[in-house]
Structure 1
């Protein structure tokens, strides 16, 4: 402990040395450099931080940051209400030892070698209660539990209630309930363990990542375990993520083909295929895949941004000026777009499933990006955008009708209340969704479009009215012409008869 204090202390800093030699009352200003952009603070923040106090202090969100059934890591370890799952961790680990003591011993030794590095991933005070042996045991049990959970169909063999399985999934995506990938990856790279879990998987008749079970082992040998496990994670999260997959219509596929092709070409030329070691933990993996979008980590910086003021509008306000809503087909659920039309526009929003786990998931993602300093605070800005759109239950009803909100847990009023609670004390990045806000504002400033839309009802009534009058007039003229056309013929006929 003394070594860690010597390393982290500021005594080796030239600025700190200078402060010792001055008697000025301003010496405290010399304890750190006045020129910094927050990078040093971000580096000192643990990879798995505590939830910030401003998040935890909201009564509306009490319980959204604590695990219900299983603890991962030191923050919630030993809580009485989580003892049932601790017993299950021991049970499945004992089965591993029984099936392959050699593999279990290898895994345990790998974790033991990483104890010092793993401690640095958590807030220091949370690991003091564990000596190295206890800390190794905790990491080993937690790591194998996660691995077993992902590879054995969500602990189906353990005969857990559906509510408990759903709670495990929820708990694995809590900010304070993470295991660093630097610990998890060595466990997952053990081929004996992977094959052991695949056997369990195959005996139950399931396949990995949607593949035939006959090809699972062939894939395991032809591809790295790293890429296989990434597929498993993605497949797993696709089942529980906030957005259900959407299918494009044939016309949408044709119309979107040029832009989609260009996007893929740019993506292939610029992006790198990342391995699991690129991600910090499961929540970080989920964030980069479904919130931020896979790419380079972009922290907050001092680059130029547009400072033009914009505001949001509710769903019904936007409807009144001709803006409609449509579900989009993207895996990144924060990817909201605005599409212009001749008289109005459309907000393209990824579908969002509102379930019991949705609220804690969004809150923990927002807390994580706050701690990590992600650029644009995408999750926070997204939920605040949705909150601005959902002002009343009628807004929820409209979004449900369009297939953007999907829920089975409550009424429209309750869903509106959930968004209100999620965004309590959240501050969005004012520069997020700049293009969307600019487009909405531009639409509002278009006097011609607004005038046409506001008077479309009188126009339509006038058209119907005068069309009716015009129709009567035309019918009358046609009848008159037909009558006058027939009269001369009838008269000639009469005269002719009279002459005869």
Structure 2
């Protein structure tokens, strides 16, 4: 059978044939693989049924995470910088993450930006809005369409190289590609301007996008779609367009999107404060949003610390005297483990950024982690979001741990404790970690070594605090009762001063002696 297939010409092989069950595909060299032709205009990719998506099974308590084993085996060469010979900055979603989660987290549902999802028929409704955004761009900038298009055509080659060598681009000429970049880029800029208008009290009918029904009825879906990994326009295209229109509120728009993660929904002015500066331009809008949520890089070192144990949960940290607090900056990259200066320095503090979990924020977290996976170890501090997710995943092994994080204000989720636990566990097992992850647990190991006596005492008090309080209450009640009995054996002092009534008042006023009040009253009645 195999010899017959070798004699068939490559042109007779249909694109991507599904193999029959007993068939095992033989390895083919890269030179023998014919280029895949782009789909015809009426073609619609076959939707993935929900049955084909692997269901996330609930973890059996206690949840033994494979992170504890895999993270300890990292060596220096594994985290060393890798060379990126290509200029690809907008890649496809990593296959491992795509298999673990449903297409809802990867595919746009309202608008397509870029070539990867441009041919989907269900997204064609927004093409009219893109044309309106292009017209508004030319009107505001007072530039003819030909001049703006010529600027984008000159960048078409560089912009094309930003995308992966995908079948959606192979037969697309530069003219068609430039028109797509122009309309998508103008739509992005106008959407940001419409979301953050100069006059908040202006009527929506005056806005070229918000006046359209397909836009103002799906604002949340559009905001979600423009920050997906596969739904991006190269930053050089947006930068070229902003040369004509420099007043686009990009930072204000990203600060508005960042309030979705914040528990308190801080004002935009507070979210804009302290934005880190970078020496390199971002690859795309999602990359800039990622930088805003991570904060400034902390280190350029590639040293990987040796950890003996990374299995401490939120409840175990509370038993050891480590308090979970919310970071002031509320950036995912600002994770710190330190000793508190007050209370004799015996306690510790683990600072984490708060996060609101819902369909929107879970989607953005997953796409930022996928963006970090595509960047790889090109820098020492590339895995900030992945490290944050991995730290939280190790802190939660049971629903009780999720409740502990809820009580500290670190997690605010509309889902149940079990669903929140599953999200972090399923996502963390597919991610790599960076220096911030190791720094937190290295300091935690140092805290364990230096405060092992205090940890043992605090753990005993933490686990038995209710029993200790109950015993002290009983001892106090017995002591008060014994004191009252001894005082009644001194009759010579009854005539001079009414001390039994004073003793009764003192005993009943003490919470520890409330059990003996009824008995004391009976003795006083007899006296």
TM-score, with normalisation over the residues of structure 2? 0.65
Deviations 1:288-311 (A, max 9, x none): 1112x1359x77x6x433223231
Q: Distance in 2 between matches of 1:404 and 1:311?
A: 20
Shift in Å, 1:152: 0.9
Shift in Å, 1:428: 3.0
1:453 aligns with 2:459: yes
Unpaired runs of 5+ residues, structure 1, are: 1-34, 195-224, 248-263, 490-500
Say whether the 8 Å CA contact 2:126–2:214 is kept in structure 1: no
| Match among 160, 174, 180 for residue 138 of structure 1 | 180
Shift in Å, 1:86: 2.2
1:423 aligns with 2:422: no
Shift in Å, 1:45: 5.1
1:367 aligns with 2:387: no
What residue number does 2:223 align with? Answer: 169
Q: Matched residue of 2:220: which SS? A: helix
Shift in Å, 1:37: 9.2
Q: Distance in 2 between matches of 1:333 and 1:452?
A: 30
1:150 aligns with 2:192: yes
TM-score, with normalisation over the residues of structure 1? 0.68
What residue number does 2:405 align with? Answer: 399
Q: Distance in 1 between matches of 2:424 and 2:217?
A: 23
Say whether the 8 Å CA contact 2:314–2:396 is kept in structure 1: yes
Deviations 1:117-167 (A, max 9, x none): 111211234432221110110000010000010001284322347773222
What residue number does 1:484 align with? Answer: 492
Structure with the largest fraction of helix: 1
| Match among 90, 112, 117 for residue 76 of structure 1 | 117
What residue number does 1:206 align with? Answer: none
Say whether the 8 Å CA contact 2:380–2:435 is kept in structure 1: no
Using a 3 Å threshold, how does the CA distance of structure 1 residues 67 and 242 change in structure 2: closer, same or farther? Answer: farther
Q: Matched residue of 2:105: which SS? A: coil
Deviations 1:184-203 (A, max 9, x none): 01212224xx6xxxxxxxxx
| Match among 349, 353, 358 for residue 356 of structure 2 | 353
Q: Matched residue of 2:113: which SS? A: coil
Say whether the 8 Å CA contact 1:380–1:428 is kept in structure 2: yes
Q: Matched residue of 2:195: which SS? A: coil
Say whether the 8 Å CA contact 2:396–2:421 is kept in structure 1: yes
Using a 3 Å threshold, how does the CA distance of structure 1 residues 345 and 471 change in structure 2: closer, same or farther? Answer: farther
Say whether the 8 Å CA contact 1:315–1:398 is kept in structure 2: yes
Q: Distance in 1 between matches of 2:436 and 2:142?
A: 55
1:237 aligns with 2:257: yes
| Match among 224, 227, 237 for residue 183 of structure 1 | 237
What residue number does 1:327 align with? Answer: 326
Shift in Å, 1:431: 6.7
Say whether the 8 Å CA contact 2:319–2:455 is kept in structure 1: no
Q: Distance in 1 between matches of 2:236 and 2:140?
A: 25
What residue number does 1:382 align with? Answer: 388
Q: Distance in 2 between matches of 1:69 and 1:140?
A: 19
Shift in Å, 1:386: 1.3
| Alignment length (residue pairs) | 392
Say whether the 8 Å CA contact 1:42–1:372 is kept in structure 2: no
Q: Distance in 2 between matches of 1:95 and 1:322?
A: 59
Q: Distance in 2 between matches of 1:104 and 1:372?
A: 35
Q: Matched residue of 2:412: which SS? A: strand
Q: Distance in 2 between matches of 1:78 and 1:304?
A: 45
What residue number does 1:48 align with? Answer: 90
What residue number does 2:158 align with? Answer: 117
Shift in Å, 1:450: 1.9
Q: Distance in 2 between matches of 1:434 and 1:307?
A: 10
Say whether the 8 Å CA contact 1:244–1:351 is kept in structure 2: no
Moved over 6 A (4+): 35-38, 98-101
Q: Matched residue of 2:325: which SS? A: strand
Taking only aligned residues, the RMSD between alpha carbons, in angstroms, comes to 3.5
Using a 3 Å threshold, how does the CA distance of structure 1 residues 273 and 435 change in structure 2: closer, same or farther? Answer: closer
Q: Matched residue of 1:174: which SS? A: coil
Q: Distance in 1 between matches of 2:325 and 2:444?
A: 16
Say whether the 8 Å CA contact 1:50–1:176 is kept in structure 2: yes
Higher mean Cα deviation, 325-334 or 173-182?
325-334
Alignment of 1:469-480 (within 5 A): 469-478=478-487
Shift in Å, 1:282: 0.8
Using a 3 Å threshold, how does the CA distance of structure 1 residues 294 and 123 change in structure 2: closer, same or farther? Answer: same
What residue number does 1:18 align with? Answer: none
Using a 3 Å threshold, how does the CA distance of structure 1 residues 100 and 183 change in structure 2: closer, same or farther? Answer: closer
Using a 3 Å threshold, how does the CA distance of structure 1 residues 329 and 36 change in structure 2: closer, same or farther? Answer: closer
